[in-house]
Structure 1
Amino acid sequence: MALWERAQQLPPDSAHLQQIRNIYGDDFPIEVRHYLAQFIEEKFWWNPVRLPDTAENNQYIANLINQLIQEIENKAEDLSDARECFLTKLKLAETAKMFRQRYSSNPVQLFSLIRHCLSAEMKYLQAADPDFLPMPPSLFVCNLMHSLEELRGRTRTTAEDTRKLEQEQEAFALQYCECTKVNAHLQQLKNQGSLNAQDQQTLQYINRKDLLEQDLNRRVAALMELRIKITEQLRQNYQLLSQVQSQVIDDELIRWKRNQQLSGNGVLFNSSLDKIQEWCEEIAELIWLNRQQIKEVERLKQKLALDPPGVVDVLPTILSEITQLLSSLVTSTFIIEKQPPQVMKTNTRFTATVRLLVGGKLNVHMSPPQVKVSIISESQANMLLKSDKLLKAGDSSGEILNNTVTMEYQQTTRQLSVSFRNMLLKKIKRAEKKGTESVMDEKFSLFFQSQFSVGDGELMFQVWTLSLPVVVIVHGNQEPHAWATVTWDNAFSEPGRCLFQVPDKVPWAKMKETLSQKFKHATGRRLTEENLRFLADKAFRGNYNESANSMLSWAQFCKEPLSERNFTFWEWFFAIMKLTREHLRGPWVDGAIMGFVKKKQAEEMLAHCSAGTFLLRFSDSELGGITIAWVSDSQEVFSLQPFTAKDFSVRSLADRIGDLTHLITLYPDTAKEVFFQKYYTPYQDQPTQPNGYIKPVLVTQVLGLAPNYNTTPHHTMYMSPDPTRDTPSVANSYASSITTTAAEPTENSAFGPMDCLDGLDDSSYAGIDLNDIIYK
């Protein structure tokens, strides 16, 4: 992270921020530090130049200071004339003037001052955050900044040469006019028969004519040479602009889009487009300036035709190429900044944001365009790429409400964007299914389109972009399979693919990274290698070979049911992930849930542990279930019937573990309170309801195992006052079901939740109607 970027993240009332503000004053205003932060850090902080007094270093520093002053002046000119920018504009202009007057004769002094300020800033930032380590610009950024700097210099040189060409042509025109007058006078004398080569005046005219013609020939040669030079400069500028634009658009922006897609699977993603916009805006400005220079040179050439017959004028070709470069830049920077949901349910509101990165620089916001959204099928998306034409009315595959909005320009951020906040997919047209395809395999895309003009209508642009693939569902039970389609596409789609093709098989090495990242995004913790080996064994139906480069097919992933089950691998994994995200996140992140372990393996692990040792594992037989396996007093290992989200909506996992007092130690040797006590629900006194009833409290127990409330820390308010009450003996075979009992405490006694069953033995349960209180 850059220095100034980190400084801006400090709290406004931070003492360290105040110290940083105090660094800057009249000699080096904070406004300059803010508006030229990147330039200052790259040139004055990361720059390897030191201060030995050598002619080479001094000249470099002098050029650097001059460049800094020019940057300040350019920034002052770029700032809007809006009221809030007016004072800053004046401040920057005054600072540039002051720097020239004060430091032109001693640039090293200003160089040292800036380095001192940055060093002090670094000291205060590290005092505020000892772990802060500023990162130098990447090699790509350094090379890009160097290329842009070179292009700025080349563009200025070409502009100066173009002005010189115009001046030389004007001088030539004047000389030519003078020569024409002399020739006309001599011709007049000849026509009058008074041309006498011996006459002094005539001789002067003849000499004057010869000198003018010689000078004209020299000027013509100079003009031709200058034209060739400028044309070559413009050609080289175009080539360099093309290279730089390719680096930004084809590399950085494509990488940003790919990262945005991977973020749909939980990969961390820096969504900021500001740096890319800054680069694109500078490229757009340089393209526009070079394009105007080409047109100006063409105008000057038409004004004075000097090219000999047969010479091909390459300027029209360069003009066409650089115009196409601008068109490519504009269309490529029409970006979906915030993607619509990739699993989209009909008649459900959704949002999206689109941004034109060069809109502010090209003044598109002066006449803000409208953006329209349609939904199209996979085949329509491919046809669109082939024809590169905007959709016609009625070509969409569905109906979207609130699908047309005008773009807005934010003066402070210089962003031209539009946010669709209330879109709703009213209906969808589906294609015919083939084979085993389902509606959750079908992919659509949102198609954003707009058009606008640039340069007072000189250029008209039609821009469009496609969203990431979306799957449309009409019912919640379609969600798991829809997310399988989206997850596979996000993870394994390849650049330049035919939309929306994906491989039928992928290496498990890639799949396990996708599953781990997705699980972490949903639950807060990645999967371990042991977890992933368990998943591999399940996905490959027990045929996973770790040493081989195993390929997992789409059918194995989400089409074919697991062995002896009626659900697929993905359905099982998705249900576990959903359960963990919604009900088990805290214990999972803490490492209290082993989760991915087979029943037999769990039994083997617990077999040699002391009584009361337990572990938590995800159920193999029930979707979205988690079970508790524990060691009994007789050293047998039992498992409770799995809990599901429905159970946890009534009582949390931690509270259930707290209720079950025979669970003492979390495998291998940690008291359960260490992990779960902080998640216990604290008891709150329940007042009498308006209807006269007292709200019951639900407590979990295993039939045949009476709870010992004296050992349950968070149930102290419910301890039975009778210390002599016998605890029923534990049967050799534990019931695998859970009962949750409801008790109504009286006003004058601490009434235990199971006190209502005192005096009943196991055989007595059959005579009690517990339909309302037993849910497992």
Structure 2
Amino acid sequence: MAQWQEVQNLANAYLEQIHELYAGAALPMAVRQCLAAWIEDQNWRQAAEPLSSHARMLFHSLLVLLWERLGSLGLGNEDFMLRHNLRKAHRDLQAKFEECPETFANLVANLLREERRILRLGQAGGQGGAAPAPSPSPRNDREQQIQRRLAELHTALQEAERAFRHLEDMQDAFDFCFKVHYVPGEDRTNDPQYAQQIQALQAKLQILDRQRREVLAQIQQLLGRSETLQDFVLQELEAWRDRQQRACMGAPEDTNLRPLETWFTELGQGLFQLLRLLRALGELRLKVTYERDPLKAEPPLLEKRLKELLSYLIQRAFVVEQQPTMPNAFKRPLVLRTATKFSARARLLLRLHDRNHPMETSIHIDRDPPKIKGFRRFNILTSSSKTLLAGDSPQEGLVCDFQYLTLKEQKDSRAGKGSKGSGEGPVVVTEELHLITFTLAYAYCGLELELETSTLPFVIISNNSQLSSAWASILWFNMLSPDPKPQFQFFSAPPAAPWPLLAQVLSWQFQSVAERGLAREHLLMLAEKLFGSKPSPESTLSWTKFSKDGAAGFSFWAWLDGILGLLQEHLKQLWKDGLILGFVSRKQEKKLLKGKRTGTFLIRFSESILGGVTCTWVEHPESGPPAFRAVVPYTAAELVSLALPDIIRDYQLLVEENIPENPLQFLHPNIPRDEAFGPYYSKREEGNLMEQKKYLNRRLIRVSI
């Protein structure tokens, strides 16, 4: 479904944001509406690049299409207002952007990006805040179009090659006849045979001229096809970047680069083939030329346009395949620790390079650091340059794998005795964003370029106690920043997070750690904990309330991350299999257990202890209301000695006459305890009383009085 069509299906709250977006925009919504499909098919971000000739072409194409749309409208009263609005839009756009089409391209690119952001929020909100279950996505229409257009481009290139060879043969024949029959300097105007020969040569020249123009027209058409195809490929690249960014936050996304690598390489091969064809046309002109020769003016312009296209494609083909990651980072990239090894990998998606030209890749950290007091500077230890090499097989492309890198903080020479050094300043260490840039000297077929790509922003810590806060910063930035490049002042006034988007990101954390995300009821409990009531799609949470404030002495994120750590180390399988209810308020807990028989229990996370899990069960006395009892929460300190299933099996309560009894009989809603947890019990080792000089087996159990 087209983006504009999806936008129009949003709920009213998000449609209001779309209206606000276009209320102050120089592009009227009426133009966006009537040219929706064409606008979405163009690569406005590329056109906005400095020195690009693409912006002017797109701007004038839009004006032409707008005028054609005006001409297609009827003269009836029902179209009167639309005609007026479109005519005014045509006049205003032409007056405002005629001299600066790049500004217009940038405007449209930003509008489309904001539409996508609002669309993501609206779609997340429409699911009630629950994260969608991961499922393999089918091949989309754009991928199918890319495959089809690549095949069409290949066929058209073959036809152009055949037309060129035919032109070459035709020119050789003309050149031979010209040298045989035309003798310059002789006056043979009275020779009828010579006049016929000159006339025949003139006819051959006209045919040759027509063939040259046909080949140039084919190349012109191929360039247009290539530009459209490149737009589709680059849109897929942007979609991959979005998926990679979400995967870094824990989302179950496919970040395989193989399809993109194939498309970039096939398109690059076609463009370089076209470049060689243009250069061969130039060589034909050196052999035969004439007045108003089309090979004199057109090929240089076409070659300039083709090189722009190639340069932009190759620049975008250089990507960061693996973001900076420490080993054993528990699926938390983009948090690095000083003096601890980490790795990052760049890839050139275009499998074309000059083997006689070694392609050196260099890495730099914070090439353009912000002028912020206290911003820390670092050096990358070990080698900071490597040669781009082919992967394990020819199909794996060109990769540059930087492993075993470490960071060391630069000492501020101005920090004298008693000074706090470079760490002094308003920037919190876990909110300080850094960037690694890869540069590559590329050469192929006479085209030499300096390529550059950058990682996502990352945080540098000095000890493990900062890891949780740093990860919160990474989540917040990648969730809310419209630009993946670091905004070093981002955390000086961080934006609030819409609850639907935050709910999805929180669910990803549980999905990545324990292979089961958060259900709708989990998210509702968390929302009530944060907002005090049921959330709405417009509910937002501030950064401070998420990561800093907390009535219990710790922040919401510290509490949630403690639970994630407990799941990772001790409860992963139980959570994955749905035996832990997890997030249940005390009110909801009583509601769930009230109507159940005595001994029915549920497992939930503690709200008062970091990284705690407890069991609550119901008892129905002979008279009076039901009683609800809970175990003192277990933390990692206890679970490292005794697994939770064994605790549940062996838990005992001293009842009348001090007879121990296990009150945990049925897992909510009504599953017998041993049926639910039997597969997870540890095997008992029975002691043999007949054997002498051996200790009896002893087990640690909890007994409540």
Q: Could you tell me how far apart the structure 1 residues matched to 2:647 and 2:537 are? A: 43
Q: Could you tell me how far apart the structure 2 residues matched to 1:577 and 1:496 are? A: 26
Q: Bigger CA drift: 565-574 or 486-495? A: 486-495
Alignment pair present for 1:643 and 2:624: no
Q: Residue in 2 aligned with 1:170?
A: 172
Q: Residue in 2 aligned with 1:416?
A: 398
Instruction: Give 1:532 deviation, angstroms.
Output: 0.5
Q: Residue in 1 aligned with 2:163?
A: 161
Q: Residue in 2 aligned with 1:398?
A: 379
- Report the AA paired with residue 421 of structure 1: Q
Given that 1:224 and 1:306 are in contact with CA atoms closer than 8 Å, whether structure 2 keeps it comes out as: no
CA 1:311–1:321: 2 relative to 1, 3 Å:
closer
Q: Residue in 2 aligned with 1:769?
A: none
Residues 373-409 of structure 1 show CA distances to partners (whole Å, capped at 9, x for unaligned) of 2222784699xxxxxxxxxxxx974323243332322
Structure 2: unaligned runs, 5 residues or longer: 1-134, 326-333, 412-420, 652-661
Match of 2:585 among 598, 619, 625: 598
Given that 1:374 and 1:396 are in contact with CA atoms closer than 8 Å, whether structure 2 keeps it comes out as: no
SS for the counterpart of 2:284 is: helix
Normalising by structure 2, we get a TM-score of 0.69
Given that 1:565 and 1:621 are in contact with CA atoms closer than 8 Å, whether structure 2 keeps it comes out as: yes
Matches within 5 A, 1:295-694: 295-308=279-292, 313-341=297-325, 342-359=334-351, 362-365=352-355, 367-376=357-366, 379=369, 397-409=378-390, 410-427=392-409, 437-455=427-445, 458-494=446-482, 499=487, 504-540=495-531, 542=532, 544-547=533-536, 549-559=538-548, 561-562=549-550, 564-632=551-619, 634=621, 635-660=626-651, 661-684=662-685
Instruction: Give 1:282 deviation, angstroms.
Output: 1.0
Instruction: Give 1:639 deviation, angstroms.
Output: 2.1
CA 1:365–1:584: 2 relative to 1, 3 Å:
farther
Residues 165-205 of structure 1 show CA distances to partners (whole Å, capped at 9, x for unaligned) of 32232222222222333x55657xxxxxxxxx9xxxxx6xx
Q: Could you tell me how far apart the structure 2 residues matched to 1:177 and 1:364 are? A: 41
Normalising by structure 1, we get a TM-score of 0.63
Matches within 5 A, 1:196-215: 206-215=191-200
Q: Could you tell me how far apart the structure 2 residues matched to 1:380 and 1:459 are? A: 34
Q: Could you tell me how far apart the structure 2 residues matched to 1:219 and 1:637 are? A: 102
Q: Could you tell me how far apart the structure 2 residues matched to 1:157 and 1:336 are? A: 37
Instruction: Give 1:236 deviation, angstroms.
Output: 1.6
Residues 507-549 of structure 1 show CA distances to partners (whole Å, capped at 9, x for unaligned) of 2112111211221221121212111011111222x1x443452
Q: Residue in 1 aligned with 2:221?
A: 236
- Report the AA paired with residue 211 of structure 1: Q
Q: Residue in 2 aligned with 1:140?
A: 142
Q: Residue in 2 aligned with 1:83?
A: none
Q: Bigger CA drift: 611-620 or 495-504? A: 495-504
Q: Residue in 1 aligned with 2:53?
A: none
- Report the AA paired with residue 259 of structure 1: R
Q: Could you tell me how far apart the structure 2 residues matched to 1:301 and 1:592 are? A: 79
Given that 1:402 and 1:424 are in contact with CA atoms closer than 8 Å, whether structure 2 keeps it comes out as: no
Q: Could you tell me how far apart the structure 1 residues matched to 2:484 and 2:248 are? A: 19
Provide the aligned C-alpha RMSD in A: 3.3
Q: Could you tell me how far apart the structure 2 residues matched to 1:411 and 1:529 are? A: 45
Q: Residue in 1 aligned with 2:701?
A: 700
- Report the AA paired with residue 441 of structure 2: Q
Aligned length: 530
CA 1:377–1:313: 2 relative to 1, 3 Å:
closer
By relative contact order (CA 8 Å, sep 6+), the higher-ranking structure is 2
- Report the AA paired with residue 379 of structure 2: G
Instruction: Give 1:309 deviation, angstroms.
Output: 9.3
Given that 1:587 and 1:675 are in contact with CA atoms closer than 8 Å, whether structure 2 keeps it comes out as: no
Instruction: Give 1:488 deviation, angstroms.
Output: 2.0
Instruction: Give 1:293 deviation, angstroms.
Output: 0.9
Given that 2:480 and 2:495 are in contact with CA atoms closer than 8 Å, whether structure 1 keeps it comes out as: no
CA 1:170–1:286: 2 relative to 1, 3 Å:
same
Given that 1:451 and 1:462 are in contact with CA atoms closer than 8 Å, whether structure 2 keeps it comes out as: yes
Q: Could you tell me how far apart the structure 1 residues matched to 2:471 and 2:137 are? A: 37
Q: Residue in 2 aligned with 1:277?
A: 261
- Report the AA paired with residue 646 of structure 1: A
Q: Could you tell me how far apart the structure 1 residues matched to 2:136 and 2:519 are? A: 31
Instruction: Give 1:633 deviation, angstroms.
Output: 7.2
Structure 1: unaligned runs, 5 residues or longer: 1-132, 188-196, 198-202, 383-394, 705-776
Matches within 5 A, 1:66-105: none
Alignment pair present for 1:262 and 2:252: no
Q: Residue in 2 aligned with 1:248?
A: 233
Residues 287-329 of structure 1 show CA distances to partners (whole Å, capped at 9, x for unaligned) of 0111111111122223323243999712212101211222222
CA 1:480–1:176: 2 relative to 1, 3 Å:
same
Given that 1:151 and 1:237 are in contact with CA atoms closer than 8 Å, whether structure 2 keeps it comes out as: yes
Given that 2:364 and 2:437 are in contact with CA atoms closer than 8 Å, whether structure 1 keeps it comes out as: yes
